[in-house]
Amino acid sequence: MTEATTGATPGATTGATTLALDGGTPVRTAGWPSWPPSATAEQRELLLEVLDSGDWGATSGRKVAEFTTAFAQSIGAQYGVSVVNGTIALFLALRALGVGRDDEVIVPAYTFVASATAVVLAGARPVLADVTPETLHLDPVAVERLIGPRTKAIMPVHLAGAPADVDALREYGVPLVEDAAQAHGATWRDRPVGTLGNAACFSFQSSKAMTAGEGGLIVTDDEAVYRKVWALHNVGRSLEGGWYEHPDVGWNLRMTEFQAAVLLPQLGVLDDQVKTRHRAVEFLRRELADVDGLEVLPEPPGTTASSHHLGLVRYDAAAFGGHGKDDFLAAMAAEGVPLDSGYRSLSRENALQAYSDLQPCPVAEQAADTVVWIRQSLLMADEEELSDIVTAATKVRRAFVSS
């Protein structure tokens, strides 16, 4: 058993073990890998190609169509539509499945607020379901209790890049809209995320595994859903119709050629980046096991590849001398290891009260109080750099226990 697990405290407040918060020397003063990574020569070349062409929009250029097709093919989906962001992608997928006024969509309580507000944007009511204690993914048992005659869809969120248990959710016979914003490159029982439901939505916002600053994409194998999404994102036009024919109501929600130019080369490096983050998470899972009070959360059973957009770590304040999560985050940041507090439970988001009956979701609420995140940029580091996370956590625990 290591000193970290025994709570040994000799020298805990002197010399190298004095917390940086208290004037000690930080464990780490170097930076972490940047995210997004520096632009590549190929990205620069494609951006200049678009710039010089004058075809900057998707209706006249070719890059958006090229990227959309390449992305859909990379996961084995029949159809894809690229749009302005991931929130809009969810909105369009819901609308294409017929979700509207007086309908309900079941959404996990531990997720980004856009999962719920996309439902509101579609005119429907988000119904918040609790998550599983082990993985913080949508709990099928909670879903079963909430399904009713107005349930039009379920939105499994592939949290932190690990697939939700879509097989269990499919049992209820309700359309599934995958929120795959964090799950580029993930697989569930060797099936790519994005091909597990009726439609799936990816994000290319700045923090995501593939990014153009903003952007989103909907994939589906259902031609009717594809046609509807395409019309909705392209001001109500039809695939076969003319420029000024608008058989449906829609909006201009198209991606730009510049975004597609930035994204195209990223498809070629995604798998290697996913493997890098996988190695990082497994290293931290192994090494942090020796730090009492920290646990890297497991992926749901059936996960054959996680994109590891985040490393989720459960923090036990009792093992850290009773110091709360905010104290731990502040101490780690001072040691040169910036961690993230993570989501609030959507059951605590009062802004949703007008659109949803906010019932308690105890597991999600506890996660908001006890789970910290290791961001994607840190997970792109090598083992020598990652060891600083373990060293800092050990140092902080030792100081907290002795204080």
Alpha-carbon span 186 to 232, nearest angstrom = 28
**Other residues' Cβ atoms within 10 Å of the Cβ of residue 98:** 13
CA distances from 15 to 12, 248, 323 (A): 8, 70, 22
CB 308 within 8 A of CB 274: yes
CB 356 within 8 A of CB 350: no
Whether the bond between 175 and the residue before it is cis, its omega within 30 degrees of 0, is no
Alpha-carbon span 309 to 374, nearest angstrom = 9
Please tell me which residue in 208, 228, 325, 395 is annotated as part of the active site.
Answer: 208
Residues in the chain, total: 403
What stretches of 109-252 adopt beta strand conformation (E)?
125-129, 151-154, 177-179, 187-188, 191-192, 199-203, 216-220
* 395 catalytically annotated: no
CB 332 within 8 A of CB 392: yes
- Strand, helix or coil at 79? strand
Positions marked active-site: 208
